[in-house]
């Protein structure tokens, strides 16, 4: 009889089942994981420290690099923090534009998430469609902001520029084109029996454990809690529009990916409603000369609902032209470190990628 022994395996950072530069040290016995140690740091660029050397406006190109897939919520939260410290109001139209822009980003990010998950499980057709549809949304961003991935569109006091002529129709047309493919997505991926078999019961977490470990976003909503910052603490124009927060009860990978799908549809409905309600007017309230802009002493904690869950920012000013301390509370931090370690314990070695991608973790958000 072969003696069972513990083996140490290094999973990542260069691994097919891994999205992003992140690694896990696994201790395995046979096929079962005994212990998992998350090992981030491959993308630690020290943004929070670098921001202390740059003035308030110069930091925008830095912050959006924290989440590569969806940089827009990070821009939004940093702008909100600066507005709160400096006491700047935002025009009504800019609030609507911000909401539409953030929801577009959410759809784009969720399509990327669907790509990652479908690709990992081998559903290449649906994955390629998702990537193509994400590209259509990037085209919209390119027309609006000039950038495809990093947009730097939200400024303190509003947004950088108004919608170009005919842009509303383009949004509607693009979203209709994507929405028309939902039955195809369902048939090939979401309602596919193979997908159910691969994802059902994988990485299961219950509500109590999720709350204890600081879960937010899809991970928490998949356990049955309707927790969404857009509802709890509305920002931008989210208090003026009606929308549902999709939840599920099972808390496994299957529920999490279904929530991603339902949220995309909910976001598209919300964009249509917001486009109809958008008022006319200015999009930017003038802010002082950025080179001489000193923000009064104080501290602020703001939060938004990014595509991955609750995102927070603790911002401290000591009255200078630069921030004194910046600290981001990112959703991937709790999902990728304590929750991932917990869920991997006792799991099968072939499910590591499955669990990690279904938690919707993105490595640069952990490292910052």
Partner 1 sequence: MATFVPIKRKRGSKMSANKLQEEIGSLFKNITLKIAKNNRIFILAQKEQILDILSFLKNKGFDHLELISCVDWIKKNQFEIVYILTSYLLEDEKSRIHLILKTRVSRENPEIMSALPIFENAEFYEREIYELFGVNFDGNNRLIPLFLDREYKIPPFRKDFDTREYVKNLYDSILPVEDKNK
Q: What angle do CA 103, 121, 331 make, to 5 degrees?
A: 40
For partner 1, give the closer residue by CB, 161 or 329: 329
The tokens for 258 are 């279904």
Residue 224 interacts with partner 1 (CB under 8 A)? no
Residue 213 interacts with partner 1 (CB under 8 A)? yes
C-beta of residue 352 within 8 angstroms of C-beta of residue 26: yes
Residue 46 interacts with partner 1 (CB under 8 A)? yes
C-beta of residue 13 within 8 angstroms of C-beta of residue 352: no
d(CA 179, CA 171): 12
Residue 54 interacts with partner 1 (CB under 8 A)? no
The tokens for 257 are 């990916």
Tell me if the bond preceding 13 is cis, omega within 30° of 0. Answer: yes
Residue 327 interacts with partner 1 (CB under 8 A)? yes
CA-closest candidate to residue 86, choices 350, 303, 307, 285: 285
For partner 1, give the closer residue by CB, 185 or 333: 333
For partner 1, give the closer residue by CB, 234 or 288: 234
Residue 233 interacts with partner 1 (CB under 8 A)? yes
Among 90, 241, 295, 361, binds partner 1 (CB under 8 A): 241
Among 212, 281, 297, 319, binds partner 1 (CB under 8 A): 212
- Identify which range of 16-24, 38-46, 126-134, 184-192 contacts partner 1 by CB under 8 A: 38-46
d(CA 323, CA 226): 34
Residue 319 interacts with partner 1 (CB under 8 A)? no
Sign of the dihedral defined by the CA atoms of residues 163, 165, 169, 170, in that order: negative
The tokens for 175 are 């979203």
- Identify which range of 46-54, 104-112, 193-201, 247-255 contacts partner 1 by CB under 8 A: 46-54
Among 10, 29, 31, 53, binds partner 1 (CB under 8 A): 53
Query: Which DSSP symbol is given to 87?
Result: T
Contacts with partner 1, residue ranges (CB under 8 A): 40-41, 44, 46, 48-50, 53, 211-214, 225-227, 231-234, 239-242, 273, 276-277, 299, 301, 303, 310, 312, 314, 316, 324-325, 327, 329, 333-334, 337-338, 367
């Amino acid at each position: 009889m072969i003696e069972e022994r513990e083996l140490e395996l290094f999973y990542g950072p260069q691994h097919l089942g891994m999205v992003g530069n992140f690694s896990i040290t696994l201790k395995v016995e046979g096929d079962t994981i005994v212990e998992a140690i998350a090992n981030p740091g491959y993308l630690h660029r020290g943004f929070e420290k670098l921001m202390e050397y740059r003035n308030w406006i110069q930091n925008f190109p830095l912050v959006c690099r924290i989440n590569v897939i969806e940089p827009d919520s990070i821009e939004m939260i940093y702008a909100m923090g600066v507005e709160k410290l400096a006491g700047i109001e935002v025009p009504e139209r800019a609030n609507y534009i911000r909401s539409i822009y953030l929801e577009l980003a959410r759809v784009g990010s969720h399509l990327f998430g669907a790509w990652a998950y479908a690709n990992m499980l081998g559903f290449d057709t649906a994955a390629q469609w998702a990537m193509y549809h994400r590209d259509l949304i990037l085209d919209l961003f390119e027309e609006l902001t000039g950038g495809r991935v990093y947009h730097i569109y939200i400024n303190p006091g509003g947004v950088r520029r108004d919608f170009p002529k005919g842009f509303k129709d383009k949004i509607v047309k693009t979203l209709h084109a994507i929405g028309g493919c939902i039955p195809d997505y369902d048939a090939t991926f979401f309602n596919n029996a193979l997908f159910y078999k691969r994802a059902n019961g994988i990485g299961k977490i219950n509500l109590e454990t999720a709350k204890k470990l600081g879960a937010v976003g899809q991970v928490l909503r998949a356990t049955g809690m309707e927790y969404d910052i857009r509802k709890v603490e509305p920002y931008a124009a989210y208090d003026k529009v009606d929308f549902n927060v999709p939840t599920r009860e099972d808390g496994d990978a299957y529920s999490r990916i279904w929530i991603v799908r339902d949220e995309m549809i909910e976001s598209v409905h919300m964009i249509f409603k917001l486009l109809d309600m958008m008022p006319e007017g200015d999009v930017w309230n003038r802010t002082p000369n950025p080179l001489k802009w000193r923000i009064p002493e104080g501290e602020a904690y703001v939060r938004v609902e990014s595509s991955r869950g609750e995102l927070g920012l603790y911002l401290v000013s000591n009255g200078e032209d630069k921030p004194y301390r910046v600290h981001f509370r990112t959703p991937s931090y709790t999902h990728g470190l304590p929750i991932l370690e917990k869920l991997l314990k006792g799991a099968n070695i072939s499910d590591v990628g499955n669990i990690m991608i279904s938690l919707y973790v993105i490595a640069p958000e952990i490292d910052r």
